[in-house]
Chains A and B, each alone.
Chain A
Amino acid sequence: MAGLVVLVAILLSNAATPEARVLLVRFAVVTIFAGVVTSAAVWIWLDTHIARPLDKLARYGLAAAHGDRPVGEPVPTASHLGLAGPAVAALSFSLQAAKSGRDEAVGGAIARAERQTARLETVLHDLREGIVICTRDHFVLFYNPRAAEILKAIGPLGLRRPIFDLLSADPVGHSLVRLEKRFREKRHLTHPDGVSLSFAALCTDSRTTVEAMMTLVRHGDLLEGYILSFSDETEILAASAEAERQLIALAVKIREEAASLHLVADLLDRVDGLPSPGPALIETMVASVADLAVSADALDRLAMDHLARAWPMGAIAAATLFDLVIERARMDQPVAVAADPRTLILCDSAAIATLLARLSEWLARRGGQALFLACVPEAEMGFVDLAFTGDEIRIRDLSAFLDKALDHDLGPVTARDVLARHATDIWPERLADGGQRLRMPLEMRDASRVRALPIHWPERRPSYDFDLFDDRLPDDLAATPLDRLTAVVFDTETTGLEPSRGDRMVSISGVRLVNGRIIAAEVFNTFVNPERPIPPASTLIHGITDAMVADAPPAVDVVRRFRDFARDAVLVAHNAPFDMRFLVLAGEMADIGFTNPVLDTVLLAAHLHGTEGALTLDRLAETYGVDLPEESRHTAYGDAMATAAVFTCMLKPLAAAGVVTLEQAIRASEAQSALRRRQSGY
C-alpha cells in the first residue's frame, strides 16, 4: 500500500497535464481504498474462521485439562482448522474419562484402606502384647495402649518421635541391620523366623530390658519399616520362676507321698505271720520308696538349676552385696558389716540386697539395735547372718514381714518370693551372748578357688603405651577443663588378654560425654565378629558366645564407625592401654589411625587415691557410689557406663587435687604410669 502511494506520488509529480493528475489521484484513492477494504475483509475472515475458533478451542482444551469443563459440553466448531478440532475434542474426552476413573479408583482405595486401618487398629488395640510400628528411620508410626503401658516407666511413646527416646539405639539398629541383611540375601525364605528376630531391647533408663521381637515391614522388595512387639521381660521372668517353684513344690509332694508309702511298708512289716511272698513284697516296696526319694532330690536339683538360669543370678562379692544393703537401708544407725573379701555369694543381688535392707529397717523399727551383717561361708553352704540385740523375734513375727511386698521397683514381690526363688529360707536363732541373729543360707564360693569366674577382673596387665596419641595437643584442647570436654568413654570385651597373640574384640561400647554429662541418647554399642572362636573361659567372664557374634560386623567395619562416633572426642577408658591396643590393632587392619587424646581412669584414680589397694572398676564404683546393675557388669555397655559415671564423679576431686585441664590430667597420668612401672619392675 505504501509502495502504491509512493508510486502514485512519483507518477503524480511526473504527470504532465492537470487532467492526467486528477485521473491519477482518483486512481490512487480507489486503489488505496480497495486495498484497505481487502485487508479488512481478509482480516475479518481470518479472525472469524481461524483466530477465534482457535482461541475457543485452546480455551476449551485448557479448561478440560484443568478439569473445569463439565463433561459433555460440545466442542466448539472449527471447520477451517482441519483436524485440530476433533483432535482437541478427543484429547479432552479421554482426559475426562481418565480423571473420573482415577477419582473413583482413588476414592475406592481410600475407603478400603480406611476400613482396613480401622480393623487393624482394633485388633492391635486389644493385643496382649505391646506393638510399636516404626519407619525405617526409627520414627514411631503407630503404637497400641499395651506398648505405652509397658514402656511408660521409661518415658512417653510419641507418634513421629524417634523410638530411640525410649529404647537404646544400638540393639534396635543392630537388629534391623541383621534383618535387612537376611532379607536382602533372601535367607528369610528359609529362616525359621522369617523376617522376625528376637532381641533384648535395652531401655534408655539403662536398667530395664524388654524382650522384643522385630519384624520387617515390606512392600514388595522395599523395606518400609519394622514392627516391634514386646512384653515386659520381668513378666516373662516371673512366669518362668513360677514353673521352677512348682517343680520344687512337686518334689516336696513326692517326698510326702514317699513317706506315707514308707510308713505303710513299715507297718506291714510288723504284721505277724504275713504269708509269703508278703515280706518280699514289702522289701520291694521299701526299695521303690527309696528310689522315689532320690527322684525327688533330682527334681529339686533340676528346679534349682533352672531357677538360677531364669533369674539374674550371679556371683557377687559378699562385701559388695553388703555395701549395696547399706546403701539401700534407710536407717538412723547404719548396719555394721563384715565379709571376707574372697567370699562370693550366688544370688540375685538386687533382690537379696533389698530384702536385707528392708529386714534391717524392720528390725530397727522393732527396737533392734547393734545390727551386724556378716557372711559365714561353710563347707556345703554359707550363711548370711543379721545379728542384733533387742526384743526377741520369733518365726511367727518374721512371717508377717516375709509376706509384705519388698520394693515397688521389684514388682509385687515379697521376701518370701525372693527366698523361694533362691530355694532358701530365713529364721531367728538365739546367740550365746543373749542377742539374736536372723540366718539365711545362700550358696557361696571362695573366690580364690574359682579361677574361671572372678568378680574382680584381674587387673589388666598395664603396659605403657601413651605414645598412642599425639603428644602435642592443640593448645586450646590442652587447656580445656575436663568438665568441658567432649569425650567418649568406652569399653571393650575381648576373646582374651593378648592382641598380639590373636585375641580380638567381641564387643565395644562407647558413651558420649559432653561438658561432663553423659548423653544417654548417644551411645555406641555393638558386638564385633572376632573371626575366631571365643574361648569358654572368656565367655564365662563376659557372657558373649560364638552364636552372639556370628552375625556381628567385623572389626574393620566397627572400628570405622567407632572412629566416626568418637571423632574429635577425647577417649576415656578404664585401663585404657588395654582397650586401646585392641582398637588400634583393628584400626590398622582398616587403615585408619586414632589420633584422639586418651585418658585412663585407673591412672586418674591413682592420682587421687594412691596406688595402694585395687583400682578396679568395682572398687571405684563402690567408692563413688555408682550403682552397677549386676546384669550389665562385664558387658561392654555396662562397664562403659560405669566408667563414665566414675569419671564424672572424679572430676571434682581431681580439680581439688590440682587436675583441672586435659593437659594437667595427661601429665598426672604420665606421672602415675611411670610410678606404676617402677613399682612393678617393668
Chain B
Amino acid sequence: MSGTLLIVIDDSAMARWLPGHFEALGWSVAHVSTGVDVVDFACGTNRCPDVALIDAVLGDDDGHVVCEDIRAACPDAYLVMTSARAGQTARLKALAAGADACLLKPFALSRLETLLDRRHEKK
C-alpha cells in the first residue's frame, strides 16, 4: 500500500487528472489548490503526508512559501516541486525552499511516477 500523497496544484490538467491517476496506483490522495488550504490541512499532527507535490505558482500564493511551511511542519515528508520557469534558478530556489526534487515543466509522467516509487521503496 502506498502512502499518503498531498497534491498542491492550482487549476490545470494536472489538478484534474493527477489525483485520480495516483489513486488508481494505490496512493491515498488529498488535493488542495491554495496555500491557505495547505495550512489547514497540515496543521494537525498525524496529518503529514508521505509525499507532497507542490506547484511553484498557486494562483496568488507562492508555492515556495507553501513548501517551506510543509517542510517546517513535516520534516520527514518527501517534497517535489513543479515549476514552469526556465533553468537552474527554479531548481535552486525549490531546493532552498525545502523541496527534495524539482521537476521542470513539461515533464513526462513516468518521471514523476519514478520519483514517487523510489520514495515508497525507501519507506
Contact = CB atoms under 8 A, between A and B. Distances in A.
20 contacts: A252-B85, A259-B14, A259-B82, A259-B105, A260-B13, A262-B106, A262-B107, A262-B108, A263-B17, A264-B13, A266-B108, A267-B17, A267-B109, A296-B86, A300-B86, A380-B88, A381-B89, A394-B68, A396-B69, A439-B96
Nearest to A263: B13
Contact of A425 (B18, B89, B109): B89
A255 interface: yes
B109 A262 contact: yes
Contacts of A260: 12-14
Interface of A: 251-253, 255-256, 258-264, 266-267, 289-290, 292-293, 296-297, 300, 380-381, 394-396, 399, 424-425, 427-429, 439, 441
B87 to A, nearest CB: 8
Contact of B109 (A263, A427, A441): A263
Q: Which 6 A-B pairs have the closest CB atoms?
A: A260-B13, A266-B109, A259-B105, A259-B106, A255-B84, A258-B106
Contacts of A252: 84-85
Nearest to B71: A394
Contacts of B18: 263
Interface string B85-123: 110110011001100000001111110000000000000
Contacts of A263: 13-14, 17-18, 109
Name the prevailing secondary structure of the A interface residues.
helix
Contacts, number: 84
B65 A255 contact: no
B21 interface: yes
B88 A441 contact: yes
Contacts of A399: 62, 65
Contacts of A381: 88-89
B64 interface: yes
Nearest to A428: B96
B64 to A, nearest CB: 5
A256 B86 CA distance: 11
Contacts of A253: 84
Nearest to A378: B88
Given A261-B106, A263-B14, A396-B62, 7 more contacts: A259-B12, A262-B105, A266-B110, A267-B21, A293-B105, A296-B86, A396-B65
Nearest to B113: A266
A292 B109 CA distance: 17
Scoring A258, A293, A296, A395 by chain B CB atoms within 10 A of each residue's CB, the highest score goes to: A395
B89 A441 contact: yes
B14 A297 contact: no
B68 A255 contact: no
B106 A427 contact: no
Interface residues of B, number: 27
A439 B89 CA distance: 10
B97 to A, nearest CB: 6
Name the prevailing secondary structure of the B interface residues.
helix
Contacts of B92: 427, 439, 441
Nearest to B55: A256
Scoring B62, B88, B105 by chain A CB atoms within 10 A of each residue's CB, the highest score goes to: B105
Nearest to A381: B88
B7 to A, nearest CB: 13
Given A262-B108, A289-B106, A395 B14 contact: no
A256 B82 CA distance: 10
Contacts of A259: 12-14, 82, 84, 105-107
A252 B57 CA distance: 11
Nearest to B90: A425
A425 B93 contact: yes
Nearest to B21: A267
A394 B65 CA distance: 8
Contacts of B93: 425, 427
B85 A427 contact: no
Contacts of A300: 86
Nearest to A419: B89
A634 B19 CA distance: 59
Contacts of A266: 108-110
Nearest to A266: B109
Contacts of B68: 394-396
A380 to B, nearest CB: 7
Given A266-B110, A427-B96, A427-B97, A258 B89 contact: no
Contact of A256 (B64, B84, B97): B84
Contacts of B13: 259-261, 263-264
B54 to A, nearest CB: 13
Nearest to A254: B84
A471 B105 CA distance: 73
A261 B13 CA distance: 8
A261 B17 CA distance: 12
A267 B64 CA distance: 28
A428 B84 CA distance: 21
Nearest to B10: A256
A441 B96 CA distance: 13
Contacts of A264: 13, 17
A267 B109 CA distance: 8
B65 A395 contact: yes
B106 A293 contact: yes
A380 B87 CA distance: 10
A297 B108 contact: no
A420 to B, nearest CB: 12
Nearest to B20: A267
Scoring B69, B84, B85, B93 by chain A CB atoms within 10 A of each residue's CB, the highest score goes to: B84
Scoring B21, B96, B109 by chain A CB atoms within 10 A of each residue's CB, the highest score goes to: B96
A300 to B, nearest CB: 5
A531 B108 CA distance: 60
A427 B97 CA distance: 8
Contacts of B88: 380-381, 441
A229 B5 CA distance: 62
A428 B86 CA distance: 20
Contacts of A293: 105-106
A289 B105 CA distance: 11
Contacts of B97: 395, 427
A267 B21 CA distance: 8
B29 to A, nearest CB: 15
Scoring A253, A258, A261, A266 by chain B CB atoms within 10 A of each residue's CB, the highest score goes to: A266
A260 B84 CA distance: 11
A292 B106 CA distance: 9
Contacts of B96: 395, 427-429, 439
A266 B50 CA distance: 24
Contacts of B21: 267
A130 B105 CA distance: 47
Given A263-B17, A267-B21, A399-B62, A255 B109 contact: no
A337 to B, nearest CB: 23
Nearest to B67: A395
A21 B59 CA distance: 150
Interface string B43-86: 00000000000000000001011001100000000000010111
A33 to B, nearest CB: 131
A441 B68 CA distance: 20
Nearest to A256: B84
A263 B62 CA distance: 23
A446 to B, nearest CB: 19
